[in-house]
């Protein structure tokens, strides 16, 4: 069971200070967070890609490379790379470079992204939303195999006996498919035999067990080795000494961030009542004491059999010392409890 941190590098207004952190400040904080996660013994750190004022990261690979220089063990991945509006050749070159700097710790999480700003920014038509992703994923997977590439499509020039440099340290850089939980995304990942990441930010996470089962069923039917049909989840969360303290510290920032998005998407105000409901045992927020968060992750494993869980923190802007401490608590207290709990479940199932 791999455990890690996911972040978008949020730079929205801090409700506690009334100030907005600069992009430069947030980027520098992110490098310290990656270093802290590595020191805390976590397995993975993922950084999202956005092209908006309220997020500092438009180039995850650059941030991850800075983190690679100050870490030794933690794996480093985008979360996600918006593949539809990028060039797969440049993506693979950049992550091969990251793989070299990190000595073989790079991964790519490919997705469509939750915003559309990158499409007009890079000259793509939203009417091509589906074909862009499918075609570019096909090329990225061809590049992953290495060697000389012969490929043609409709959205970029063909490649003839092309070879990509630098070469990665790993034989193949792992590529995950990121999904909001649609059957179509799960089916695509399963038919390709690719690992799947599910973003669970609302409702009950246990509802996603059906998607995970569907994914594995399709993957087996397609003839893929079940050991390669991995499922990971990502959810918002925050860890502190007690449940009540964790909720009180996390609510202002996540409320400010989600209310801002709600104005764009028609969700309405993000209320404390809704927040508290999602912090409950069957809710999508992993907020509370180390024991509470560990129990929720173990329960998720029981229901879905996930191989990886990432905690998205912070959501919105929080004091950096609080973010650092929640990462330390995740690695130092939550991770041992989760690993012990998962090991016991596996032992029971193998009897």
User: What local confidence, expressed as pLDDT, does residue 351 receive?
Assistant: 85
User: What local confidence, expressed as pLDDT, does residue 109 receive?
Assistant: 98
Distance CA 315, CA 14 (A): 11
Distance CA 268, CA 243 (A): 26
Direct distance between the N- and C-terminal alpha carbons of the chain, in angstroms, rounded to an integer: 20
Cα distances from 10 to residues 65, 105, 190, 244, 258, in angstroms, run 19, 24, 32, 24, 12
Overall size of the chain counted in residues: 351
Distance CA 286, CA 301 (A): 14
| The residue to which tokens 């179509």 are assigned | 184
What is the residue range of 14's domain? 2-349
Question: How many CA atoms lie less than 13 Å away from 245 in the CB half-sphere?
Answer: 8
The verdict on whether omega for the bond into residue 185 sits within 30 degrees of 0, i.e. cis, is no
Dihedral (C-alpha) 100, 103, 104, 108: value to the nearest 10 degrees?
-50
Enumerate residues 6+ apart whose C-beta is below 8 A from 133.
Answer: 83, 84, 112
User: What local confidence, expressed as pLDDT, does residue 15 receive?
Assistant: 84
CB 151 within 8 Å of CB 159: yes
User: What local confidence, expressed as pLDDT, does residue 266 receive?
Assistant: 85
Number of domains the chain is built from: 1
**3-state SS of the chain: helix, strand, coil percent to 5?**
50, 15, 35
User: What local confidence, expressed as pLDDT, does residue 268 receive?
Assistant: 82
User: What local confidence, expressed as pLDDT, does residue 16 receive?
Assistant: 81
**CATH (domain of 296):** 3.20.20.30
- pLDDT 10s digit of each residue in the chain, 351 long? 999 999 999 999 888 888 999 999 999 999 999 999 999 999 999 999 999 999 999 999 999 999 999 999 999 999 999 999 999 999 999 999 999 999 999 999 999 988 999 999 999 999 999 999 999 999 999 999 999 999 999 999 999 999 999 999 999 999 999 999 999 999 999 999 999 999 999 999 999 999 999 999 999 999 999 999 999 999 999 999 999 999 999 999 999 999 988 888 888 889 999 999 999 999 999 999 999 999 999 999 999 999 999 999 999 999 999 999 999 999 999 999 999 999 999 999 988
In terms of Cα–Cα distance, which of 337, 293, 291 is closest to 311? Answer: 293
CB 1 within 8 Å of CB 342: yes
φ, ψ (nearest 5 deg) of residue 237 = -175, 175
Write 96-99 long-range contacts (CB < 8 A, 24+).
Answer: 96/164, 96/165, 96/166, 96/167, 96/168, 96/173, 97/61, 97/65, 97/166, 98/61, 98/64, 98/65, 98/68, 99/168, 99/169, 99/170, 99/173
């Amino acid at each position: 069971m791999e455990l890690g941190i996911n972040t978008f590098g949020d730079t929205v207004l801090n409700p506690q200070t009334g100030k907005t952190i600069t992009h430069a400040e947030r980027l520098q904080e992110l490098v310290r967070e990656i270093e802290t996660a590595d020191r805390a013994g976590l397995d993975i750190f993922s950084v999202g890609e956005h092209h908006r004022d309220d997020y500092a990261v438009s180039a995850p690979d650059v941030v991850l490379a800075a983190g690679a220089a100050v870490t030794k063990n933690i794996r480093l991945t985008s979360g996600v790379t918006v593949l539809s509006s990028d060039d797969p050749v440049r993506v693979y070159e950049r992550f091969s470079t990251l793989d070299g700097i990190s000595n073989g710790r790079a991964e790519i999480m490919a997705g469509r992204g939750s915003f559309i700003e990158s499409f007009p920014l890079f000259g793509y038509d939203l009417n091509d939303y589906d074909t862009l992703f499918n075609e570019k994923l096909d090329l990225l997977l061809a590049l992953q195999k290495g060697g000389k590439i012969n490929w043609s499509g409709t959205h970029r020039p063909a490649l003839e006996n092309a070879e990509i440099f630098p070469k990665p340290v790993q034989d193949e850089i792992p590529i995950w498919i990121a999904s909001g939980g649609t059957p179509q995304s799960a089916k695509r990942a399963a038919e390709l035999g690719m690992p799947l990441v599910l973003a669970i930010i609302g409702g009950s996470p246990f509802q996603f067990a059906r998607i995970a089962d569907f994914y594995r069923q399709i993957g087996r039917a397609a003839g893929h080795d079940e050991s390669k049909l991995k499922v990971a989840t990502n959810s918002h969360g925050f860890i502190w000494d007690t449940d009540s303290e964790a909720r009180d510290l996390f609510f202002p920032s996540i409320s400010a961030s989600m209310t801002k998005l709600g104005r764009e998407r028609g969700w309405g105000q993000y209320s404390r009542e809704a927040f508290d409901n999602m912090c409950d045992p069957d809710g999508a927020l992993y907020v509370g004491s180390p024991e509470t968060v560990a129990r929720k992750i173990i329960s998720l494993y029981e229901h879905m059999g996930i191989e990886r869980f990432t905690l998205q923190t912070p959501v919105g802007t929080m004091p950096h010392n609080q973010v650092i401490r929640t990462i330390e608590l995740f690695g130092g207290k939550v991770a041992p409890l989760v690993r012990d709990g998962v090991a016991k479940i596996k032992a029971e199932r193998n009897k």
